[in-house]
Amino acid sequence: MTFEERVGELERALERLDEALALGPAPSAEVSATTLPEAIVGDAAIQRFEFSFELAWKALSGWLERNLTAPPASPPVRRR
């Protein structure tokens, strides 16, 4: 996959992330039956962010490999 194709994928993922973020604020820590849709939207936004981050890393990593002599280091490890 070319760098341009990866950037195109990233742009589409960012558009989808923007759509999820436009649906409303992140839910509070306490989820009730009335806030369940907000919790789902928040979860979807988080998932879309993670997907966008991975695509951004892959695009950047590919560019760095092509344009630098040293391979890039891996992205930071997520801690939960």
Confidence of residue 79 (pLDDT cuts 50, 70, 90): low
Residue 75 lies inside a defined structural domain of this protein = no
In this prediction the pTM is: 0.69
Residue 42 lies inside a defined structural domain of this protein = yes
8 Å CB contact between 61 and 72: yes
| Dist. CA 5–CA 74, nearest whole Å | 21
Residue 39 lies inside a defined structural domain of this protein = yes
How many folded domains does the chain comprise?
A: 1
The parent domain of residue 38 ranges over 3-67
**Digit-coded pLDDT (tens) for 43-66:** 888 999 999 999 998 888 888 888
**Digit-coded pLDDT (tens) for 8-52:** 999 999 999 998 888 866 555 565 545 557 778 888 889 999 999
- Compute the C-alpha angle 80/34/22, nearest 5°: 65
Residue 77 lies inside a defined structural domain of this protein = no
